[in-house]
């Protein structure tokens, strides 16, 4: 018997028979609209965790367990409204040497000012990184489509017409003896 449930991501209402069920580590069942939505959610969460780990360890060189300033988290979430986490991480990777230089060269009076300075560096470069990332994504899609097209072409080459088949529908059937 189906019970009512709510999607953990989009808050859509449904029932336990139609929604995708996941049991967490505490044994509690959580429901999602479908498996694809759940997998997208997990993939985004993994990208986000990788980004924050990269910022913490590689850019700021924090010790394990040290938290990223909340202002940085909010700024990244604001950027994520349009840009993918991969783009943001690539931008941090591209600007890493500039960020490290300015963190060592300037004396910031607070961590807030340091984070705002770093985010201005990122915001000034993210559009260029986004264009390159989008171009790479289009290239991947075209490559995948080309692979499929070659598969279809290979299938077509394998098919050969049978010469022993009945000549039904041949043009010679429509011609009279005097036309030949």
Which tokens hold the place of 20? 């995708």
pLDDT at 157: 63
> Which residues, including other chains, have CB under 8 Å from residue 85's CB and lie 6 or more apart?
44, 47, 48, 50, 51
> Which residues, including other chains, have CB under 8 Å from residue 79's CB and lie 6 or more apart?
88, 122, 123, 126
Distance between first and last Cα of the chain: 76
The overall pTM is greater than 0.75: no
pLDDT at 142: 86
pLDDT at 180: 65
pLDDT at 53: 93
As a whole number of angstroms, the distance between CA 125 and CA 31 comes to 39
| Structure-token match 């000012």, residue found | 113
Can you give the pLDDT of all 180 residues of the chain as single tens digits?
A: 688 988 888 988 988 888 888 988 888 989 999 889 999 999 999 999 999 999 999 888 888 888 899 999 999 999 999 999 999 999 999 999 999 999 889 898 999 999 999 999 999 999 999 999 999 999 988 888 876 555 666 666 665 555 555 556 677 676 777 766
Q: What's the chain's Rg over C-alpha atoms?
A: 29
Domain boundaries, the chain: 64-155
Angle at 61 between CA 59 and CA 124, to 5 degrees: 20
pLDDT at 156: 63
């Amino acid at each position: 018997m189906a019970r009512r449930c709510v999607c953990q991501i989009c808050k859509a209402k449904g029932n336990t028979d139609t929604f995708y069920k996941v049991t967490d580590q505490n044994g509690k069942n959580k429901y999602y609209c479908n498996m694809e939505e759940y997998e997208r959610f997990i993939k985004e969460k993994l990208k986000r965790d990788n980004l924050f780990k990269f910022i913490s360890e590689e850019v700021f060189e924090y010790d394990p367990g040290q938290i990223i300033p909340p202002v940085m988290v909010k700024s990244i979430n604001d950027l994520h409204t349009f840009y993918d986490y991969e783009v943001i991480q690539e931008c941090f990777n591209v600007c890493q040497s500039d960020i490290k230089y300015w963190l060592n060269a300037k004396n910031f009076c607070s961590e807030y000012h340091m984070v705002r300075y770093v985010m201005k560096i990122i915001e000034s470069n993210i559009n260029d990184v986004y264009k390159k990332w989008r171009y790479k994504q289009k290239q991947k899609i075209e490559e995948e489509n080309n692979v499929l097209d070659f598969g279809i072409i290979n299938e077509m080459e394998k098919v050969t017409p049978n010469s022993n088949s009945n000549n039904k529908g041949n043009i010679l059937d429509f011609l009279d003896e005097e036309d030949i």
